[in-house]
Each structure stands twice: as C-alpha cells, then as structure tokens.
C-alpha cells in the first residue's frame, strides 16, 4: 500500500507526518483512512513520545528512540487482529 509506505517513510525520515501532504498525494481523508491507527497513537501521545495536532503527527525527542514503534502502528503487514507485533527496537 503506497499510502502506508509514504506515512512510514515520513515518520522515519522526517520525524512526522503532515496529513494534508498525504491527502494531496493520494486523494484520501487522512483521519478517515487511518482512523484506527490514530486511536492507537493516543497512547503514545500520553506517554510523551509523539504530538498529535494541527493535522499532523510529530515525533517528540523522547520518541526518537522508539520511532520504529510509532511507524509500526501504520504497518498493516505486522498486524494480526488488533494486536501489534513489535520487533526488538532497543
């Protein structure tokens, strides 16, 4: 899925995602397309790893060490049911 690849690349390379950029590139509504993923990210936001707001996701300094965990939220191939499988990131 090209959309997911672009989001993951933005997270890993740019430390965040601009929703409008993805919407313009792929003609989707980001919040609709990634509704479940955005819900999952609220826990990472509570932990101080990311910031959600202004139609973007921003990786905070504390989240840089766990950036792969943030990106994996968007990786459909790692999902089995509702659980995420995390690789060793540390």
Is 54 part of any domain?
yes
Helix (H) or strand (E) holding 90: none
Q: Which domain CATH number covers 10?
A: 1.10.10.920
The string of pLDDT tens digits covering residues 50-86 is 999 999 999 999 999 999 999 999 998 876 555 555 5
Is 31 part of any domain?
yes
Burial string for 1-25 (b: 16+ CB within 10 Å, else e) reads eebbebbbebbeeebbbbbebbbee
How far apart are the C-alpha atoms of 10 and 57, rounded to whole Å?
A: 10
Give this prediction's pTM: 0.85
Is 88 part of any domain?
no
How far apart are the C-alpha atoms of 55 and 23, rounded to whole Å?
A: 11
Range of the domain at 64: 2-75
Which position has the token pair 């003609």?
27
Residue 24: pLDDT above 80? yes
Please state the domain count of the chain: 1
């Amino acid at each position: 899925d090209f959309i997911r690849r672009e989001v993951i690349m933005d997270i890993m390379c740019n430390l965040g995602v601009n929703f409008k950029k993805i919407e313009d590139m792929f003609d989707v509504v980001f919040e609709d397309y990634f509704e479940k993923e955005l819900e999952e990210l609220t826990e990472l936001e509570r932990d101080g790893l990311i910031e959600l707001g202004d139609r973007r996701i921003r990786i905070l300094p504390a989240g840089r060490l766990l950036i792969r965990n943030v990106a994996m939220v968007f990786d459909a191939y790692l999902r089995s049911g509702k659980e995420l499988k995390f690789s060793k990131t540390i």
